[in-house]
Structure 1
């Protein structure tokens, strides 16, 4: 059975006090997670230890970093290594988010290095892939995403892949108010799963969790999550509002 995950990516938002209040509000909602369901909170680096301490007694709740360095250690001022994240109890790390790709020019090769370092540190990568608007309009999104997968994940072993989550981000639907239709989301998720099956085998593909990462909200989460190849969501803006985030989690089904 595949894990069903809702992950909240706070991005560069909230003070420590606001973040603590947000987590407490989510926990006070009294969510009952079914077997195989997880909630992941991806906070800014300074809040990770606090988030970990708040969530430690809540089964099914985990903490993620939003990025890690592409080097193991050394003279890289301002960077945070996967080993550092592991040392403070981080469970997951988001790698290859579209904003990192765009604003910081992170290539597929750099992301492959980050994947390796995260796995070596015992942290599960949430690997983001997806196409910008011009690629979608040209109807070449499958080839675009296939290249991202091939260049960042296909060097892994089947055993390593078991600890990877993929998040599909239609970049044209992030922060724009646009959302991929449920059919568009399902089509791409099924395509991603087929690419994994071709490389790693059918069993590996069947057990891979693939999240939708394009402006999911309480109003569309149920429809999106009902698709057979959509295993939850990587949530941006809605994860900053406790009631919205809780409502999305409740649609995991």
Structure 2
């Protein structure tokens, strides 16, 4: 599995396994299936309600903990110094682990929801820096942070985020934010890489997939990693789990990359970090 070296020297697999909506026994089994298929990075979050299931799947897989890169996230209702510390300990206990490899602020505080959103993010980050210094977290990062949130965080942070996990898929890949992150040494990680299924049937993607004798899913995931971004597809189906990691035996041409880059908006979630918890009205 190809890895990306983060700005703190730690390594993260370029393809991981997303667990959103994977709960209970199905969640446990999907984690075991993913690890058996060769995935070595598992992504979860407190809000997913499946940290216990993920931890159980890791334990039952029989694979050495040191070989598995585990990510979880601080939910936006727990922002703040003390709240972040408490929320992390709860996540760690639910996972049944001694440490996590990556801990992210799931959504930034914003002006719509906080009188001093900069402080809410900064205090959460300070707690995470301390947890990292204690060895409970290997790498710390953020999710859904726009440039404005990152620049504010830079004012107080002692450590630059290692990762920014953002909505990134054909039809909505935030090129300006992606470029800003790369300029500042922050690895970009893609959530919703298949645009909530909206990519299927797209003529451009179908044609490219046919040319390479691959699925549209595989083309989308390959496109993400050729942008040097980490990708975390999710599935509970064994066939799809195996298909999604089988993307290292072909390469998209520069022309194909550009074709996908230029696709009109597809499958945008409508979730914007400067206005959460509201969603904009979108038509898909």
> Counterpart in 1 of 2:193?
215
Query: Structure 1 regions of 5+ residues with no counterpart?
Result: 131-144, 197-204
> Counterpart in 2 of 1:179?
171
> Counterpart in 1 of 2:182?
193
> Counterpart in 2 of 1:61?
68
- Cα deviation, 1:44-94, whole Å, max 9, x if unaligned, reads 2333532442455165423232325334558x9xx9522343454241233
Distance in 1 separating the partners of 2:28 and 2:124: 28
**Alignment coverage as a number of residue pairs:** 199
Q: 1:1-253 counterparts in 2 under 5 A?
A: 2=5, 3=11, 4-11=13-20, 13-29=21-37, 31=38, 38-42=40-44, 44-54=50-60, 57=64, 59-68=66-75, 69-71=78-80, 73=82, 80-86=86-92, 88-89=96-97, 90-91=99-100, 92-97=102-107, 105=113, 107=117, 109-122=119-132, 123=137, 124-129=139-144, 145-157=146-158, 160-161=159-160, 164-169=162-167, 179-180=171-172, 184=173, 187-194=176-183, 196=184, 205=185, 208-216=186-194, 217-227=217-227, 230-235=228-233, 238-251=234-247
What do you get for the CA RMSD once the two structures are aligned? 3.7
Distance in 2 separating the partners of 1:94 and 1:14: 19
Distance in 2 separating the partners of 1:252 and 1:211: 18
- CA shift, 1:42, in A, is 1.0
Query: Structure 2 regions of 5+ residues with no counterpart?
Result: 6-10, 195-216, 250-284
Q: TM-score, normalised by structure 1?
A: 0.61
On the 8 A contact 2:82/2:127 being kept in 1, the answer is: no
Q: TM-score, normalised by structure 2?
A: 0.55
